[in-house]
Amino acid sequence: MEKKLRVVACWIAIAAALVAVPVVAQEATGGLRYSITVSKFENRAGWHGRWDIGDAWGTVLTDMLNQTGKFIVLGEKDMRSEALEEQDFAASGRTAGGNKAPVTGQMTPAQLLVKGAITHVQDDTGGGGGGIRIKGFRIGGKGGKGEINATIYVVDSTTGQVLASKSVVGTSTRKGANIGYSTGGWGAAFGGHKNDNVGKAVEAACAEAVDFIVAQLPNIPWTGSVVLVKGDRVFINRGTREGVQPGQQFVIGNAQVIRDPDTGEVLDQEMTQVATIQADTVKEKLSICSVVSGDANKIEKGMTVSAK
């Protein structure tokens, strides 16, 4: 009994250390963010349970991406479609209008799309129980066996090109300790069965998918645009929402897209550098910058801004 108490105390100490420096806070510091949205995953596994596995996957993956602090996470496709319908309804003239009416032309576009399919589900209903939870962290615990396989694709929304893909596997077993993303608010996605074998396997697979997507970010160009040039000040359409911080420097230039003459496919993008700028004042959706090198007179509205 005394040995078991010492083990539990050890796990509590580990959890306390993790909670003292939240995962989100650690991940969010210093990085530039990309706008991203998750499409509903197709259920090609033929699994039918008490909840919709495609909807649950989208909910969990969207929330985990948001927890990393590295993305501007947009609503899933169905939610964005409903938002567009509300905007169209407001624009029809059949609503009361006013300041609360939805406004068109202000939706944030997604730079990255996450698509994919669930290809295999295994559900062993044996076993169950166990573990402790401290502020969203799952410590230890036992349960039946479940497994889910899915293939994910990260797509560039501008070109439609697949930037990265991976097959991920999530398992729920009776062994080992799991410390992962907070799972406090996902019950509705699983129809109240988030702690069954497949529900736990979905969480594990989504965690693997998120880690893979984050690992691809250094290979994905981060860009913005010049929206205004006023004297010696340069305004760009990236701000705190995208992770820009005061003092951060960027390169400005003319971007030339190189296309395949036969297919029209984008092969590469080359930028002719004009100047280097530094963010002096950073607001939510834009930054006001000064020129630190290069020819300020050549900077024009519409030029491409890229991370230095």
**Closest Cα partner for 117 from 177, 43, 180?**
43
Please check whether residues 256 and 179 belong to one and the same domain. no
The total of structural domains in the chain comes to 2
Please check whether residues 115 and 17 belong to one and the same domain. yes
**Closest Cα partner for 299 from 271, 276, 274, 264?**
274
The pTM of the full predicted model, rounded to 2 decimals, is 0.68
Best mean pLDDT range from 23-27, 72-76, 84-88, 149-153 = 149-153
Residue 105 has pLDDT above 60, yes or no: no
Q: pLDDT tens-digit profile of 194-210?
A: 777 888 899 999 999 99
User: Looking at 155, 188, 218, which one is the last position of a domain?
Assistant: 218
Please check whether residues 270 and 292 belong to one and the same domain. yes
Q: How far apart are CA 251 and CA 306, in angstroms?
A: 5
Q: pLDDT tens-digit profile of 128-143?
A: 444 444 444 444 444 5
Please check whether residues 131 and 179 belong to one and the same domain. yes
| Predicted local confidence at residue 264, as pLDDT | 63
Best mean pLDDT range from 69-78, 84-93, 222-231, 253-262 = 222-231
3-class DSSP state of 78: helix
3-class DSSP state of 115: strand
Q: What range defines the domain where residue 186 resides?
A: 2-74+110-218
What would the mean pLDDT of 271-290 be, rounded to a whole number? 94
Please check whether residues 17 and 158 belong to one and the same domain. yes
**Closest Cα partner for 207 from 22, 8, 23, 74?**
23
User: Looking at 170, 192, 218, which one is the last position of a domain?
Assistant: 218
- Residue 95 resides in a domain: no
| Predicted local confidence at residue 253, as pLDDT | 92
- Residue 273 resides in a domain: yes
Q: pLDDT tens-digit profile of 36-55?
A: 999 889 999 988 887 889 98
**Closest Cα partner for 236 from 289, 172, 272, 184?**
289
Residue 219 has pLDDT above 60, yes or no: yes
**Closest Cα partner for 185 from 66, 40, 63, 39?**
63
- Residue 197 resides in a domain: yes
Q: What percent of the chain has pLDDT over 70?
A: 68
* 180 touches 138 (CB < 8 A): yes
Q: The domain spanning residue 290 has which CATH number?
A: 2.40.10.410
Q: Is the pLDDT higher at 215 or at 138?
A: 215
| Predicted local confidence at residue 140, as pLDDT | 46
Question: What is the helix (H) or strand (E) element at residue 146, kind and residue range?
Answer: strand 145-156
Q: How far apart are CA 55 and CA 144, in angstroms?
A: 23
- Residue 86 resides in a domain: no
Please check whether residues 122 and 156 belong to one and the same domain. yes
Please check whether residues 192 and 246 belong to one and the same domain. no
Task: Tell me 92's DSSP state.
Answer: T
| Predicted local confidence at residue 97, as pLDDT | 57
Q: pLDDT tens-digit profile of 65-92?
A: 999 989 999 875 555 455 445 555 555 5
Q: How far apart are CA 20 and CA 96, in angstroms?
A: 48
Q: How far apart are CA 28 and CA 286, in angstroms?
A: 18
Q: What is the mean pLDDT of the chain?
A: 76
Query: Under 8 Å CB-to-CB from 177, ≥6 apart: which residues?
Result: 11, 139, 140, 141
What would the mean pLDDT of 250-261 be, rounded to a whole number? 82
Please check whether residues 135 and 20 belong to one and the same domain. yes
Please check whether residues 134 and 204 belong to one and the same domain. yes
Residue 64 has pLDDT above 80, yes or no: yes
Q: How far apart are CA 204 and CA 141, in angstroms?
A: 14
Dig out the tokens for 270 from the structure: 């080359």
User: Looking at 160, 183, 218, which one is the last position of a domain?
Assistant: 218
- Residue 59 resides in a domain: yes
What angle, rounded to 10 degrees, do the helices at 53-68 and 197-216 form? 40
Q: The domain spanning residue 13 has which CATH number?
A: 3.40.50
- Residue 87 resides in a domain: no
- Residue 207 resides in a domain: yes
Q: How far apart are CA 293 and CA 276, in angstroms?
A: 5
